[in-house]
Structure 1
Amino acid sequence: MSKTTILLAEDEPALGQIIKESLETRDFHVLLCENGNIAFETYKKQAPKILVLDVMMPKKDGFTLAKEIRAIDDSIPIIFLTAKSQTRDVVEGFNIGGNDYLKKPFSMEELIVRINNLLNRTQVQKTADIIKVGHYTFNFPKQILYFESNEQPLTHRESHLLYHLVQNKNKVLDRSLILNKLWGTDDFFTARSMDVFITKLRKKLKKDDSIQIINVRGFGYKLVF
């Protein structure tokens, strides 16, 4: 059985080596890169299964690197490592397309759990190509929302959130459950990020007045149409 390849971008040599060696003891294959430029070239050549990116790196920071990769790959899981903990930084990371966010210092056990959760999650999404949402047509695999002759691209997280809302149409989608499923945690920062994505989906669905995403306070959200 082949090992899962992880691309690790970390500019602190000692920390990078510790993470690499720890992951390799868990039977991962780790590509350690010292800056964002090297990481991007390595990503294109090696096709890793998951990315673990330090945010503050020389030459190209983790957020910029993630944007470039998301432009060509909608589905690869991304975990950000950072000492930055302000809400706006966390939200920015999720908006770019990050799947998880780990604040330094962290335990290796926590990182490994989050890596495995994201890898397991990416194997689950098998569904029909086309889903009707009111007068919209939602192509989930391609992450595109169609209205008549117009199309709107969706981000990776917007697509998965809309998919789960549709699958629970007219039912309350439990806030904690979906946060843990899509973000890996239901803490304050991820809850704020989810609110941002709900607002974005409402705007993208506004051409059909029959569609509503209702905030059920204290419980979650309900898609009605």
Structure 2
Amino acid sequence: MVNDLEMAPGMQETSLAANSRGTILVVEDDPRLQKVLRRIFADEQYTVVVAGDGQTALDLFRLEHPLAVILDLILPQISGRELCQTFKSISIDTPVIVLSAITEVVDKVLLLELGADDYVTKPFSPRELTARVQAAVRRQHKPRTAATYRFADCEIDFKRMTAWRAGNPVVLTSHEFKLLKFFIENAELVLTREVLLNEVWGYNAYPTTRTVDNQILKLRQKLESDPATPRHLLTIYGAGYKFVP
């Protein structure tokens, strides 16, 4: 396991991997842990860029268009929570993996609702961290849903992150967009709660599957004309859920 292990905060350094598999943005203000994370991902043939504060991270995100982000929560200038939400507003498809010593379930749920793709607790296993990053990247390279998708009286623009029902705007969180997108990509298939947790939330083990039920309830309230008798986000009793356009 790796604990929080010499750059000044805000400084950036790039590790260029030969035949790079893509760029990983590491947002971490501890110089020792910066070095550890840089080495872990450079050894996996990624190009690594490092930010020690929130503003540098935001600048690098816009400049580098990273394949994925490793994000600490406690940072100078801009908090990790605010950064997570901003990253997702710029590029919803860029995986953000939070790496933090905070273990409270409520914090994990909040971050997932802000759009984080996964959450790894310090101290961490390098193998687990790289596996989760690679899994998040694979999920984003599945066949893409059209930027604008229509079903019934709903119109969803995934690129602009806007939603309309019966001509009226509907406010969805970034995580609700992710969940809806996964349903659309797997239309007519029965999806278990465990599959949804693994593929949308990014957790192999999550405190409760009620998280899935609550998120689908919210989507029904926002997108179904009659949430009590849904026509599109269906419960398949004893199995899971199914999206029917």
TM range (shorter): 0.7 to 0.9
Separation (CA, whole Å) in 2 of partners of 1:199 and 1:143: 20
Q: 1:190 to 1:46 in 2, by over 3 A?
A: farther
Q: Is the aligned partner of 1:69 residue 2:87? A: yes
In structure 1, give the amino acid aligned to 2:230. I
State the one-letter code of the partner of 2:239: F
Aligned to 1:184: 202
SS in structure 2 of the partner of residue 71 of structure 1? helix
CA deviations over 1:94-115 (Å, ceiling 9, x no partner): 0111000001111111111111
Are the aligned partners of 1:129 and 1:141 in contact in 2 as well (CA < 8 Å)? Answer: yes
Shifted more, 39-48 versus 102-111: the winner is: 39-48
Equivalent runs, 1:142-161 vs 2, <5 Å:
142-161=160-179
Greater share of strand: 1
- What does residue 211 of structure 1 align with? 230
Is the 2:150–2:156 contact (alpha carbons within 8 Å) kept by the matching residues of 1?
A: yes
Partners of 2:208 and 2:133 lie apart in 1 by: 17
TM-score by length of 1: 0.85
Aligned equivalents of 2:82, 2:106: Cα separation in 1? 16
Which position in structure 1 is the counterpart of 2:240?
A: 220
**Deviation (angstroms), 1:58:** 2.5
Q: Distance in 2 between matches of 1:137 and 1:13?
A: 46
Q: Distance in 1 between matches of 2:198 and 2:40?
A: 25
83 and 217 in structure 1: CA distance in 2 versus 1, 3 angstrom threshold: farther
2:132 alignment partner, one of 114, 124, 141: 114
Query: In 2, are the aligned partners of 1:90 and 1:189 still within 8 Å (CA)?
Result: no
Gaps of 5+ in 1: none
Number of aligned positions between the proteins? 224
2:69·2:97 contact (CA, 8 Å) conserved in 1?
yes
1: CA distance between counterparts of 2:143 and 2:215? 19
Instruction: Give the partner amino acid of 2:48.
Output: V
Q: Which runs of 5+ in 2 are unaligned?
A: 1-18
Alignment root-mean-square deviation, CA: 2.5
Tell me by how many angstroms 1:192 deviates.
4.8
Percent of paired sites with the same residue: 29
